[in-house]
Structure formats: C-alpha cells, structure tokens
Structure 1
Amino acid sequence: MKPKLTIYDEPLLYAEGLSKLLVQAKIFSSIEICNSYENLSEHIEQNPPEFLMISSGNLVLTEMYSCIENIIIKNKNTKIIVIGKSFDVATIRKLFNKGIKSYLDRNSSYDEFLKSIQALMSNEIYICEYAKEMMINYISHEQEKQNSHIKDPLTKREMEILKHICNGLSSKDISELLFISINTVETHRKRILLKLNVKNSVGVVKYAIENKIFS
C-alpha cells in the first residue's frame, strides 16, 4: 500500500506545484497540503501521514523544533523531511536529534527530493548534497586537528577518496581520476569504512549525527 504525504509549506503555489509532480510520479496514495500550523495540527491528529514535508519558510527554528517534537511524540512513525534555508551543520544535527529523517536545502532539486523519499522508504536517513559537503569538509578539518572523535585518523589520501565516494563516484571513476588501481581504491574504501565503523556513505552521515561532531 502506498504511503500518504502531507506538505506543510508556503507559498501555496509552490506546494501545489510539487504536489502535481508527485501525483504524476504515483509514489503516494494521497497528498495533502497545509499552509498553517493550526491546519497541520488538526490534519496530523485526524489523519496522520507516513511522510511529512515541512518548509522552514513557515517557522522560526525554535517553532520548528517544537513542531517536530510534538509530531514525533504523537506520531512516532511519521517520517519528517525538512526543507532548510542553508542551515549550518549544528542546526541540521539538532533537527535530526529532534526526530527528522531527511534534510534537504531550498536549492535541492526535485530529483534529490525523490531520492530522499526512496531512502526513507528503505528506513534510511537522507541528507542533501549541500549538507553532505559541509559534513565532509568538517570531518576533513577535524582530521587535520587530529580530532579525538576518530581514534584512528584518516590519512590525507583516505580523506580524498572519502570525498569522492560521498560525491557518488564509483571505484572505477576514482581510480581513473587519481591514477591508481581499482584494487587500491577498494583497499582505501575498506579502511575508511572500518575506521569510521560504517558500511557506506549514508553511514558517514549517521556517524556524524550520532557522535555529534557538528557541535
């Protein structure tokens, strides 16, 4: 059975445009639009959706934190996607700690929104390319300072490969870009994931959030 989606956003024109695109994609069984917090609260209470998209244009951060907390308390199975306004890494981390499952930025594309839906349907979290790049830069900076969050620091080459992995490059692409063998790339990849104790690039995001390295 297809899930339900609720969009909490202003202006209404944008929300309606996104709704029409998603109807064509046939991902959701129903799509509801709310453009006021009162309307959203009433809708969530009467007909809680599996997915909820919240735009940061409607609420200041403190209101958004409270809104997310209230929704999660009443409907812990609702997967929340936040559309941010170039939030810094500390704010993004706090949003995940409050209970969201996906963070997209206002400049994220429609295709990236679909990727986030697919990730959430697989019970994974999703973070957009903009925020992911900030995360990688932060880890790189912390590595230079020999940060204690990673007991076995990544080498300069491993950090270079990590960035390429998170940018979606395959081992073959990385080997051609860096003029090294695929086997060498695979060895570096295994060491990176081993040091961070994760399975893939999504794991890197989880590691950053769970270990609060964005503080």
Structure 2
Amino acid sequence: MKPNLTIFDEPLLYTEGLSKLLLQNKIFSSIEIFNTTERLYNHIAENPPKFLMISSNILMLSELYNCIDTIASQNKNIKIMVIGNSHDVIVIRKLFNKGIKSYLDKNSCYDEFIKSVNALSSDEIYICEYAKEMMINFISSEQEKHTPNIKEPLTRRELEILKLICDGHSSKDISGQLFISINTVETHRKRILMKLNVKNSVGVVKYAMENNIIN
C-alpha cells in the first residue's frame, strides 16, 4: 500500500503542481496541502501522515525548529522531510537532532526526492548531495583541523551564546532569547572567536563538538 503525504509549504501553485505529479506517478496514495501551522497540527492530530514534507521557506528558522520538535515528539512514526534553503552544516545538524529523517536542498532534483522517499520507506535517513558535500568539507577543513588552545576561559554568558550559535541561531534570535541587544551579542561573538582562536561559526561548532559542549 502506498503511503500518504502531507505537504507544508507555499505557494499553492507550486504545491498543487507537485502533488499532481506525485499522484500521477503513483508515489503516494493521497496528498494533503497546508500553509499554516494551526491547520497542520489539527490535521496531524486527526490523521497523521506517513510522510511529512516541510519547506524551510514557510517559517523562520526558530519556528521551524519548534514545529519539527513538536511534531516529532508527539508522532514518532511520521517521517519528516525538510526542503532547505542552502542551510549550513550547523542548521542541518540541528534539524536532524530535532527529528527529521531527510534533508533536501532547494536545488535538489526530482530524482533525489524519489531517493529520499525510498530511503525513508526502508527506515533509513537521507541527506542530499549538496548537504553531504558541505559536511565532508566541514569535517576535512584544514583551517579548523586542530582544537584551538584557549588562553582565556569562556564566561558563563559566552558559553550560553556559544550553545545558541551551535543550534544555528542568528544574532537577532540570540538577542531576543537572552534579552540583550544585537550589538552585545556581536561583541560576545567576537570575544568567543578570539578566545577559541577560530575565524567563524564553523570553528566554534567544531570546538564545541570536540569538547562535548554540544551533543
């Protein structure tokens, strides 16, 4: 029996066109389309789908995290696929930690989508070629190959901001969560980079992973 699919995305012209293509090719038995979280949550509560495809363009990043966290924690059998918008390794890693099973980028082709569906049907995860290449570059980066030597320890606030950076939050997100100005966040960011002797957020995440600051 073919699985059913729920699409959370917009615009309607695109989502209706995609659903017709998938139904014509008999990939899914039925497809439902939603463009608000309220309607999506109500639908999932009444009729949870086998597959859920979410576009990252429809929500802010923090809202996307919350949406996936809510759905995955309450419906462990739903296979969540995210269509990303050229997200970096930090964000993709966070999405998988929240509970997605597949990551496709906006530039992924139809064949990759089908590969993703087949992988999830076999209880595997799927990462598109674009994201795989980024992860390989992240791991093999010569620039951040060694753990930096810290001459001055991070403060409690700097550790707090470091963890939020690793979760993929922007300076604006961090400013709102910690009730501090964006300028203050940027000052902390610069001090963290200086103390860790790294040049960007990739180096910060690598340090945090290697020192078990994040899981």
Is the partner of 2:59 in helix, strand or coil? coil
Q: In structure 2, what is the equivalent of residue 105 of structure 1?
A: 105
CA shift for structure 1 position 146: 5.5
Q: In structure 1, what is the equivalent of residue 157 of structure 2?
A: none
CA shift for structure 1 position 8: 0.5
Q: Partners of 2:57 and 2:112 in 1: how far apart?
A: 19
Contact 1:5/1:32 (8 A) holds in 2: yes
Question: In structure 2, do the counterparts of structure 1 residues 96 and 2 end up closer, same or farther at CA, with 3 Å as the change threshold?
Answer: same
CA shift for structure 1 position 14: 0.8
Counterpart residue identity of residue 26, structure 1: K
Is the partner of 1:103 in helix, strand or coil? strand
Offset from partner CA, 1:33-84 (integer Å, 9 cap, x none): 1111111111111100010000011100111111111111221100000011
Q: In structure 1, what is the equivalent of residue 90 of structure 2?
A: 90
1:74 matches 2:63 = no
Q: In structure 2, what is the equivalent of residue 55 of structure 1?
A: 55
Once structures 1 and 2 are overlaid, which stretch shifts more, 34-43 or 5-14? 34-43
CA shift for structure 1 position 143: 9.6
Offset from partner CA, 1:152-193 (integer Å, 9 cap, x none): xxxxxxxxxxxxxxxxxxxxxxxxxxxxxxxxxxxxxxxxxx
Counterpart residue identity of residue 122, structure 2: S
> Where do 1:24-173 residues align within 5 Å?
24-141=24-141, 145=145
Q: In structure 2, what is the equivalent of residue 9 of structure 1?
A: 9
Q: Partners of 1:212 and 1:74 in 2: how far apart?
A: 28
CA shift for structure 1 position 21: 1.1
Unmatched segments (≥5 aa) in structure 2: 148-207
Q: Partners of 1:32 and 1:125 in 2: how far apart?
A: 23
Counterpart residue identity of residue 70, structure 1: T
CA shift for structure 1 position 145: 2.2
Offset from partner CA, 1:84-126 (integer Å, 9 cap, x none): 1110100000000000000011111111111100110111110
Q: Partners of 2:94 and 2:209 in 1: how far apart?
A: 9
Normalization by structure 1: what TM-score?
A: 0.66
Q: Partners of 1:12 and 1:27 in 2: how far apart?
A: 20
Counterpart residue identity of residue 103, structure 2: Y
- 4+ runs deviating over 4 angstroms: none
Question: In structure 2, do the counterparts of structure 1 residues 91 and 144 end up closer, same or farther at CA, with 3 Å as the change threshold?
Answer: closer
Contact 1:93/1:212 (8 A) holds in 2: no
RMSD: 2.1
Q: In structure 2, what is the equivalent of residue 201 of structure 1?
A: none
Unmatched segments (≥5 aa) in structure 1: 148-210
CA shift for structure 1 position 29: 1.3
Counterpart residue identity of residue 95, structure 1: L
Q: Partners of 1:8 and 1:212 in 2: how far apart?
A: 32
Counterpart residue identity of residue 121, structure 1: S
Is the partner of 2:103 in helix, strand or coil? strand
Contact 1:8/1:33 (8 A) holds in 2: yes
Question: In structure 2, do the counterparts of structure 1 residues 212 and 96 end up closer, same or farther at CA, with 3 Å as the change threshold?
Answer: farther
Is the partner of 2:52 in helix, strand or coil? strand
